[in-house]
Chain A
């Protein structure tokens, strides 16, 4: 299995597989999130179900592993690629018309995504699963809101600042995925001249579905907050 780290295609396979697994996670995550718009109670039931139990913890650790591998490889690839370009840079460069902007800025988009992941963990995970874990470890913590996901969502997005920040995050994610999805398929060899335009179209659709589902929750609670639903409490 050394080819996964010592050959360029192997490294890309790792990038593609971890990226594709993260896309599946996001689809799952986003589907759960939209539930909150229709029924906050049902959403809290999901939060309870996915609290600090073994399945959810193993899932969380697996996810953290995927993210770490994806990021570590992203930096390794970027450094190697920067070196491969040579010391001297071109004085004049022009973008070719069929080269997507996102494809040349995957690292920057990824860095934006990861910064927001930390904010996101602080906003939700830290107040929910983490508090439960502290409780299990015997700490004296307030457990009253660990499964009140809907409440935290409502309060956070009532703050326009947070709503806008989350929308910026989603925009970066959209660009990352419009290239990422088809690129992962291409890297795994599942592509040819007929499927190329199809995969590119599927990428845009998948990216748009994921981002719209997440954004719907943000926008819904932003307006709910503006119309006097809840006070900004973050």
Chain B
């Protein structure tokens, strides 16, 4: 028999973007500590539906930590109290019997609430559209190893590219800044020869878009990197600053 716990949930409920939200309290009994956090919310929603109540809206898709769709600010931490995992990878064994768990949506000017715990994160897509790509002419497939790349650069680019665009960085930041995300996306290209070609244009466009969308100014508190489910490093932000300053000085 697996262990079960009884918990109390304080969940943010908000009917729509303009509606006024408030916390609702729910009690759930006999939740298996082996279940995931989202499975626990599924149990809650099953219960609400059987009581003919509106289920709680929350984002999720892959449920294996790769898509970046899940969110939730749980007990004061984006993606919950565990480190290096997304909400979908969080387990109920991280909570104890009788605990009150507070669940809030990401709160950031650029991430408005759509409904309940679901927020509009298209701001990150817009930043990607502004420059988060490389331009290549179509044609024959080039050989994968034709361009030599230093192992260190490849590793760092790969670490930066592990960002899943979940938005936890901006959600955690006291300044509502998206710098860790933008830094990861600028770095994953700037470190590689294919990305260097458009590096200056890219960094100006992506940072400009970030500022335009109303994200804050980074003051290097580091809450983003501490909460990032992919452990994207703060040193990427120094690279973003460097790339941006150099690009501007060359203008």
Interface residues of A (CB under 8 A from B): 3, 6-13, 77, 80-81, 83-94, 96-100, 103-104, 106, 179, 182-183, 186-193, 196
Cα(A90)–Cα(B171), bound, Å: 10
Q: Which residue of B lies closest to A88 (CB)?
A: B107
Cα(A84)–Cα(B220), bound, Å: 16
B residues within 8 A CB of A91?
10, 23, 102, 104
Cα(A10)–Cα(B244), bound, Å: 9
Q: Is B245 an interface residue (CB 8 A)?
A: yes
Whole-angstrom distance between the Cβ of A189 and the nearest chain B Cβ: 3
The answer on a CB contact under 8 Å between B223 and A99 is: yes
Q: Is B242 an interface residue (CB 8 A)?
A: yes
Number of A-B contacts (CB under 8 A): 147
Q: From residue 219 to 240 of chain B, which have CB atoms closer than 8 A to chain A? A: 219-223, 225-227, 233-235, 237-240
The answer on a CB contact under 8 Å between A13 and B245 is: yes
B residues within 8 A CB of A99?
221-223, 226
Q: Which of A96, A97, A192: most chain B Cβ within 10 A?
A: A96
Whole-angstrom distance between the Cβ of B50 and the nearest chain A Cβ: 28
Whole-angstrom distance between the Cβ of B220 and the nearest chain A Cβ: 4
Q: Is B177 an interface residue (CB 8 A)?
A: yes
Cα(A104)–Cα(B221), bound, Å: 6
**Chain B interface main SS type:** mixed
Q: Which residue of B lies closest to A106 (CB)?
A: B219
The answer on a CB contact under 8 Å between B244 and A9 is: yes
A residues within 8 A CB of B235?
191-193, 196
The answer on a CB contact under 8 Å between B102 and A81 is: no
Q: Is B108 an interface residue (CB 8 A)?
A: yes
The answer on a CB contact under 8 Å between A188 and B241 is: yes
Q: Is B122 an interface residue (CB 8 A)?
A: no
Whole-angstrom distance between the Cβ of A1 and the nearest chain B Cβ: 9
| Contact of B222 (CB < 8 Å), options: A94, A98, A189 | A98
Q: Is B75 an interface residue (CB 8 A)?
A: yes
